[in-house]
Amino acid sequence: MAKAFEELRNGVVLAELGGYGNGDFCLQYGRGAAVVVMGTYIIDSAEKIHYPQEFVFRPGSENYQSYLNEHIKLAKENGSKVAVSAIGSKVEDIIEFFLAAESAGADFVSLCAHSAMEMFTKQGLGYKLCMPENRENLKMWVSKIISATSKPLILKPGSVWHDYIVESVRTAADMGTPIVHANLGLAFEPQSIETIKRLSGIFDFVIAGGGITGAEDARTVLSAGAGAVSVAKTAIQDRNFIEQLSNELKSNPNS
Ligand SMILES: Cc1cc2nc3c(=O)[nH]c(=O)nc-3n(C[C@H](O)[C@H](O)[C@H](O)COP(=O)(O)O)c2cc1C
């Protein structure tokens, strides 16, 4: 595992939650997290976008720079690293957004290849970006983002995992993507554990989650090779959950 990510090891990640995951939410719900993921933000010039409006921006840094300055500062107040997740129809728009996030203090940028929104899937984006037929497009997105930005890229594929998805994300790793964030539905189930083992042989660092409700689940996922566990729904239900889980893992990561 690469040295640069050692400080995240055995940590808890507050996963992106569109409609919730702004700076204030990350501050309130992400105490104790190694990383909080803001967003996912949609950066797009489409007319009507059915998505919580706070999380939608037209392309161009003048539309979001001050928002990012304010919210990333809030998200950092509890000492967590901050990742900012984005999706849009054009890679140039996402790069401009990521650069604005970096200048506002983001520690990671995260490409959302998880979305099932039709406006993205019909263009081969969202979760379809990791389908075999879109592999060249995935390569193009990842290589352009990596060459333009300076913070480590997290790739977040969709929640359905097949061998061909693993092969697509391997391509992204080959292009230099250091971190994958895998939502595995139920991350501690045997099939998910196999996927985590494979991903840990491909990426420098694996964030894995899906259905984590306690330290036992988290330890199962970590011992399969994940560097950190991610939590979304349980964190919304209990704003102390991330801190409690993080303390439990710190006090006894292996048993
Ligand atoms: C209300 C809600 C909103 C979400 N929004 C996003 C999103 O915008 N982008 C994304 O990549 N994943 C999103 N997710 C997926 C979560 O980040 C997470 O990967 C998934 O819920 C599995 O973790 P969990 O079982 O702990 O909830 C969302 C999940 C929920 C429940």
DSSP string, 130-166: GSGGGHHHHHHHHHHHHHH--SPEEEEE-S---HHHH
Q: Is the CB of 109 under 6 A from ligand 1?
A: no
Q: Is the CB of 212 under 6 A from ligand 1?
A: yes
Q: Average pLDDT of the chain?
A: 96
pLDDT, one tens digit per residue, over 185-217 is: 999 999 999 999 999 999 999 999 999 999 999
What residues make up the domain containing 125? 3-251
For residue 5, the SS3 value is helix
Q: How confident is the model at residue 1 (pLDDT cuts 50, 70, 90)?
A: very low
Q: Is the CB of 17 under 6 A from ligand 1?
A: yes
82 CB neighbour count, 10 Å cutoff: 26
Q: How confident is the model at residue 251 (pLDDT cuts 50, 70, 90)?
A: confident
Residue with tokens 């054009």: 90
Ligand 1 atom nearest to CA at 212 = 26
The structural domain count of the chain equals: 1
pLDDT, one tens digit per residue, over 125-154 is: 999 999 999 999 999 999 999 999 999 999
Residue identifier of the C-alpha nearest atom 21 of ligand 1: 232
Residue identifier of the C-alpha nearest atom 14 of ligand 1: 17
- Quick one: pLDDT at residue 252? 73
Residue with tokens 């940590």: 11
Q: Is the CB of 42 under 6 A from ligand 1?
A: no
Q: Is the CB of 242 under 6 A from ligand 1?
A: no
- Quick one: pLDDT at residue 3? 59
Stretch 34-56: mean pLDDT: 97
Select from 53, 154, 233 the residue to mutate for testing ligand 1; criterion: most ligand atoms less than 8 Å from CB: 233
**Ligand 1 centroid distance, CA of 233 (Å):** 7
200 touches 175 (CB < 8 A): no
Which residue in 106, 49, 85 sits closest to 232, CA to CA? 85
Cα dist from 235 to 139, 219, 231, 240, whole Å: 33, 17, 6, 7
- pTM given for the model: 0.97
Q: Is the CB of 71 under 6 A from ligand 1?
A: no
pLDDT, one tens digit per residue, over 158-193 is: 999 999 999 999 999 999 999 999 999 999 999 999
CA 165 to chain centre: 16
d(CA 55, CA 73): 17
d(CA 26, CA 24): 5
Which residue in 8, 9, 157 sits closest to 81, CA to CA? 8
Residue identifier of the C-alpha nearest atom 8 of ligand 1: 18
Ligand 1 atom nearest to CA at 55 = 8
Q: How confident is the model at residue 253 (pLDDT cuts 50, 70, 90)?
A: low
d(CA 61, CA 56): 13
**Ligand 1 centroid distance, CA of 207 (Å):** 13
- Using the predicted structure, report yes or no on whether residue 2 has a pLDDT greater than 90: no
For β-strands 11-14 and 228-231, DSSP reports them as parallel
CATH of the domain at 203: 3.20.20.70
75: tokens are 């998200």
Q: Is the CB of 181 under 6 A from ligand 1?
A: no
Cα dist from 214 to 94, 182, 207, 229, 245, whole Å: 34, 18, 16, 11, 7
d(CA 158, CA 180): 11
- Quick one: pLDDT at residue 254? 60
Stretch 226-243: mean pLDDT: 97
